[in-house]
């Protein structure tokens, strides 16, 4: 089984830019992408035909592999959980024309919602 994170962004119109982690913290985003490459984590992006919905799927081999990533992320000086949370709050929650849902499907096939909290 795999641990799969699915982030679904929905915008009201195409004039609203989807948020990019690289715009918030380019150094951490580069580290994260390299970590994914080095550790066999698959990431895919899908844009709906009307370009209003962006789906990002990040697939780790297992719950243990996902935990390994979280441990590496949390131990990385480039990652600031508070700053990231504030960025999401400002970018998503405070913008009525943009929404985000993040779900985790674990090894047991159970789905939980990580965002909104």
CATH number of 3-115: 3.30.70
- pLDDT (tens digit per residue) in 44-96: 999 999 999 999 999 999 999 999 999 999 999 999 989 988 888 888 877 88
Looking at residue 19, the DSSP 8-state letter turns out to be: P
First-to-last C-alpha distance (Å) of the chain: 25
From the list 77, 75, 63, the residue with the least C-alpha distance to 27 is 77
- CB atoms under 10 Å from CB of 70, counted, come to 11
**pTM across the whole model:** 0.91
Every domain of the chain and the residues it spans: 3-115
How much is the pLDDT for 1? 77
- For the chain, where are the alpha helices, taking DSSP H only? 21-24, 26-38, 63-74, 81-88
CA distance 32 to 34: 5
CA 1 to chain CA centroid, Å, is 20
CA distance 63 to 79: 21
Mean pLDDT value across the chain: 94
């Amino acid at each position: 089984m795999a641990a799969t994170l699915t982030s679904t962004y929905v915008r009201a119109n195409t004039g609203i830019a989807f948020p990019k982690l690289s715009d918030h913290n380019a150094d951490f985003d580069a580290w994260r992408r390299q970590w994914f490459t080095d550790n066999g984590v698959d990431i895919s992006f899908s844009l709906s035909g009307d370009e209003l919905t962006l789906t990002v799927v990040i697939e780790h081999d297992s719950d243990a592999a996902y935990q390994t990533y979280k441990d590496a992320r949390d131990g990385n000086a480039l990652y600031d959980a508070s700053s990231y949370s504030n960025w999401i709050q400002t970018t998503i929650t405070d913008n009525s024309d943009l929404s985000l849902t993040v779900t985790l499907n674990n090894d047991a096939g159970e789905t939980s919602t990580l965002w909104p909290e």
